[in-house]
Amino acid sequence: MFLTISTTGDEKNPATDLGFLLHKHPDNTQAFSTSYGTAHVVYPQADTEGCTAALLLEVDAPALVRKGRGKGRGGAPDAALAQYVNDRPYAASSLLAVALSSVFSTAMRGVCQARPERARQPLPLRVEIPALPARGGAALVRRLFEPLGWTVTAEPVPLDAQFPQWGDSRYVGLVLESAELTLAEALRHLYVLLPVLDDAKHYWVSADEVDKLLRAGEGWLPGHPEQKLITSRYLSRRWSLTRQAMERLELLRLAEADDSEVEEIDNAVEEDSEAEERPTPLAVQRRDAIIAALGESAAARVLDLGCGQGQLVQGLLKDPRFTEIVGVDVSVRALTIASRRLKLDRMGERQASRVKLVQGSLTYTDKRLKGYDAAVLSEVVEHLDLPRLPALEYAVFGSARPRTVLVTTPNVEYNVRWETLPAGHVRHGDHRFEWTREEFRAWADRVAERYGYAVEFTAVGPDDPEVGPPTQMARFELSTTTTIGTKEEKAA
């Protein structure tokens, strides 16, 4: 398996800068042992006009070692590797990706102290991989690389050059060219997309692969038209991992998104919920459950408390039953993103009159929040320190006092079902606590009793017979008796 990366240059920007950017000196032949074998970096060309770095992989599997030695790898690496690729196709690209990330890890992060400005600038780049396993063929290769700014030449490799009648193999000879990308971007594209094309399923995809994918995909994967295919193949079609990666990508993209992108995500999410084999993201199931519950309560004027980046507000706006929607959040950044997502500044007058975003903290009573039909606290309570929770309870149930309150929160029991969560971890870095079903019920029952509400519980997401659903929802309805206080306080 081998790959070359080339660039061109001139006196001012010599091509040999590639050596600095890759942190591998062009004059040396270097070998790096990785867990799978030895990776060699050599420079077939290194001068001012042109510089090529080649990464060769010598795989440390007994059969291969035998073959490789027998055929004289040094003399004809291409042929020897092609042999390997034919025998053990699944291994090749994931190994190359591992080698890329271990040999060029600094370059992949775009760090170069010697030539910092060059590391940040796009370079004329040419990447060549003579035999790349590509499930989906040349057409898929183009769909993956072209949106990223590459000019793609992908030629199917015949199964056997001497017997053209046998047709093509699943390999392509790939040449990628671009002058729009930095070296770090190029390496990160390869790191993710080579194993995706290989569609390898032989290795155990562990939970940290989601993090690796998101790190390597930063800046280009959110918004890639084949984002779903890339994510699911990269994670070997493990749907729970894929779903989590998709949710996180959605958030990343929202954080970066300009308005036009926001629209695409929502379409992507909707498509996603239609695709049978792909489970609907939990965030979408949650929004659907909330909107259904608000409908049952016949709420028209709704508060979304802790509205975050405005996904629910947007869902509510699409539904004419909701005549007035107020999103409240303490985070100005979240509200800015929400406002962009909703295109508040370009909304027609009628739509604009239905929606408002306000900054405020839910632990303080707020006159602006009084008189609404319903309030939603979707995945918010767990962001407060427990000692601050009674302040929120009073501000919402005691002061704002809408007829209906919906509260959703993670069910911590379900965490054992998230494959990416190490045991004992909460789902989000900012969660101050996560409740079991019993803890949530106890809290909700106490709040309901104190503030004169009746409460019912619903599961959101798959209701696991053992550990329950991933999200739990409580629906509070104001009782006819409207006094506030515990039984004891009322008796007193």
Binding residues vs ligand SAH (CB under 6 A): 306-308, 311, 329-331, 334, 361-363, 378-380, 383-384
**Which residue lies nearer to ligand SAH by CB, 45 or 331?**
331
**Which residue lies nearer to ligand SAH by CB, 148 or 380?**
380
**Which residue lies nearer to ligand SAH by CB, 101 or 378?**
378
| Least CB distance to ligand SAH at residue 286 (A) | 7
Burial 471-485 (b: 16+ CB within 10 A, else e): bbbbbbebeeeeeee
- Bridge partners of 156, per DSSP, are 172
| Least CB distance to ligand SAH at residue 386 (A) | 13
| Least CB distance to ligand SAH at residue 290 (A) | 8
What's the CA gap between 65 and 38, in Å, rounded? 11
For residue 400, give the DSSP letter. I
| Least CB distance to ligand SAH at residue 79 (A) | 55
| Least CB distance to ligand SAH at residue 351 (A) | 21
| Least CB distance to ligand SAH at residue 428 (A) | 8
Amino acid at 61: A
| Least CB distance to ligand SAH at residue 242 (A) | 20
**Which residue lies nearer to ligand SAH by CB, 197 or 313?**
313
Q: Give the Cβ contact number of residue 434 at 10 Å.
A: 19
What's the CA gap between 27 and 460, in Å, rounded? 60
Burial 171-210 (b: 16+ CB within 10 A, else e): bbebbbebeebbbbbbbbbbbbbbbbbbbbeeeebebebb
**Which residue lies nearer to ligand SAH by CB, 151 or 361?**
361
Pairing of strands 404-410, 123-133: unpaired
What's the CA gap between 311 and 342, in Å, rounded? 9
Please say whether the beta carbons of 158 and 121 come within 8 A.
no
Reference 265, options 315, 216, 320, 335; nearest CA is 315
**Which residue lies nearer to ligand SAH by CB, 95 or 362?**
362
Q: Give the Cβ contact number of residue 131 at 10 Å.
A: 23
**Which residue lies nearer to ligand SAH by CB, 5 or 384?**
384
| Least CB distance to ligand SAH at residue 362 (A) | 4
| Least CB distance to ligand SAH at residue 99 (A) | 39
What's the CA gap between 433 and 424, in Å, rounded? 11
**Which residue lies nearer to ligand SAH by CB, 154 or 307?**
307
| Least CB distance to ligand SAH at residue 287 (A) | 8
**Which residue lies nearer to ligand SAH by CB, 363 or 415?**
363
Reference 170, options 261, 262, 282, 92; nearest CA is 92
What's the CA gap between 282 and 250, in Å, rounded? 12
> DSSP letters of 306-361?
T-TTSHHHHHHHTSTT--EEEEEES-HHHHHHHHHHHTGGG--HHHHTTEEEEE--
| Least CB distance to ligand SAH at residue 296 (A) | 19
What's the CA gap between 290 and 460, in Å, rounded? 9
Q: Which helix (H) or strand (E) holds 64?
A: helix 62-71
Half-sphere exposure of 402 (CA within 13 A, CB side): 27
